[in-house]
Structure 1
């Protein structure tokens, strides 16, 4: 139960990130905000690696994956997310990003030759219907540029998972995450310096700086470490179930902090998306006892 509690804490922070991101992009430009948060996340990972001595030396073949991973999984992903969140409410963004597990399964079928089952296809159809409920029911169907950017953020995130799977065949997940974050951070800083007026960051109020640093350390740094540790305890499949709670957390936090209205189409769409994801990823437990059982040795090894 301790592991499930810690996983729930991670989801609480990650679901809130959509709302806090919407608040912060009003104080910082998207690329500068991403550069700031990635810088402090990188410092967190470096400090953790120095204390625990948990890192490996890279080979030339690793850089062939790390550089594209930093470009796609960090620079493109963060820029698309923070630019899109300026015009898309946190609830809608969370629901679009919840398509990542299905997208990952499809990409794994295309590039890693993993089997694409009927459950994945059926779950994808259900989830797409859920997205339609969110963006199209009760109003003229219109996909805004912000929604496209959030979709790109979801797609780049799913792509980075595929690339990470290949990378961790040689190095451990923490080292892969740390090095890809450092490379992506360097790219983000350079891109932000070229595109944005750097002196604009000093115009942000002190509370915005505190919130940006705190969310970087808690949501991207500490929660990432907690999540990876608990996966070893309960198994990857059971931990992934908690990811489906992010849209609900974004809804509640957005309503509480920003007064973002929660509509019935959003509620219905979120249920369809989460159900579709659980069908596609085979996360629907057959029995309650099975969900709370200890993970098998094989599941721990695979995670």
Structure 2
């Protein structure tokens, strides 16, 4: 069980890193709305099928459904919009950092609702925020590939996902991982998919690109969600979240290799400082100390 959980977490990190590059490729063939709709439409159908086969239609209270709707709008509708716009306006190698800084934002948001961070988390937050500010400053440097608006949308995507993470923890504990993820994703996908449906018949792309769109949605929004959730349950949040630091490294490596992206020394240093802060904040704590993602 432990070995399978580790395998799922490692594959998830590879998927999330590679998905940034996949989005850059898809955006060359589809609009932002079409890219989101195609990916999440496929993911939602598969998740719904899995849930209905396993447990049937949930018998939740009105209050539970309202929580699920709110989580879906935050963690799917807003997050996907912000994320795709940010990736479209930013290099893939930098876009991968958006996923990595989510734990930093979870600490900051958690402190607002009474979840007190430990010293390592505070240090990690300060280091990571310094890196983010340095990264923003790089947009003013001549020859920089960074775009201030793109970084802003990546920041918003990280913020919405951090908020979803905090809100979703008690929801998963009460309603179960698969049903809560399924219906939150489905509810959040509908506002993104419905406007795109009339345009699907007009789309023209190679079969490989259609396959990439479906694979991107299924791997990053079905397998990865469930494998990551299982990792947290089996391994614990602290040991699972430490692997999240590899995701931007995978994205960076693939962006340089497959897309030919190049970065200035300042951009690389700022990204490395940001990632170092995340690593410090995520470092597993001794028994009795709270981990970054242990709350809820």
Query: Which of 182, 185, 189 is the equivalent residue of 1:181?
Result: 185
Indicate conservation of the 8 Å contact 2:27/2:88, yes or no: yes
Matched, 1:62 2:52: no
In the TM superposition, residue 91 of structure 1 has moved relative to its aligned partner by 1.5
Q: 1:167-221: CA deviations, max 9, x gaps?
A: 234211221111100101112123546xxx7257522332221110011112221
For 2:163, the equivalent position in structure 1 comes to 159
Which residue number in structure 2 is paired with residue 33 of structure 1? 35
- TM-score, with normalisation over the residues of structure 1? 0.84
SS at match of 1:170: helix
Pair 1:91–1:285, CA change in 2 (3 A): farther
Report the Cα distance in structure 1 between the residues aligned to 2:56 and 2:46, rounded to whole angstroms.
13
Please give the per-residue CA displacement for 1:136-185, whole angstroms capped at 9, x wherever unaligned: 35925975211111111111111111221232342112211111001011
Q: How many residues align?
A: 285
The residue correspondences of 1:145-294 to structure 2 (distance < 5 A) are: 145-192=149-196, 198-199=199-200, 202-281=203-282, 283-284=283-284
Q: Residues 111-122 of structure 1: matches in 2 within 5 Å?
A: 112-122=113-123
- Equivalent residue number for residue 86 of structure 1: 88
Q: Is the 8 A contact 1:32 1:201 kept in 2?
A: no
| Stretches of structure 1 lacking an aligned partner (at least 5 in a row) | 291-300
Q: How high is the TM-score relative to the length of structure 2?
A: 0.86
Residue 293 of structure 1 corresponds to none
Q: Give the C-alpha shift of residue 240 in structure 1.
A: 0.6
- Corresponding residue for residue 15 of structure 1: 17
Deviations 1:222-268 (A, max 9, x none): 22222222333322211111111111101111111111124433443
Aligned mates of 2:101, 2:88 — CA distance in 1: 20
Alpha-carbon distance in 2 for matches of 1:126, 1:228: 27
Distance in 1 of aligned mates of 2:164 and 2:232: 19
Shift in CA distance, 62/3, structure 1 to aligned 2, threshold 3 Å: closer
TM superposition shift of 1:58: 1.7
Give the corresponding residue for 2:291: none
RMSD across aligned C-alpha pairs, in angstroms? Answer: 2.6
Contact kept, 8 Å, 2:105 with 2:159, in 1: the verdict is yes
Secondary structure in 1 matching 2:58: coil
Structure 2 match to 1:106:
108
Give the structure 2 partner of residue 72 of structure 1: 74
Rate the CA distance shift 1:201–1:243 in 2: closer, same or farther, 3 A: farther
The 8 Å contact of residues 100 and 158 in structure 1, kept in 2 or not, is answered as yes
Cα distance, 1:199–1:35 mapped onto 2, change above 3 Å: closer
Asked whether the equivalents of residues 97 and 151 of structure 1 are also in contact (C-alpha less than 8 Å), the reply is no
Structure 1 pair 264–172 and aligned structure 2 pair: CA distance change class (3 A): same
CA contact (8 A) 2:177 2:226 kept: no
Structure 2: runs of 5 or more not aligned: 288-293
Contact 1:278–1:284 (CA under 8 A) maintained in structure 2: no
Question: After the TM superposition, which parts of structure 1 deviate over 6 Å for at least 4 consecutive aligned residues?
Answer: none
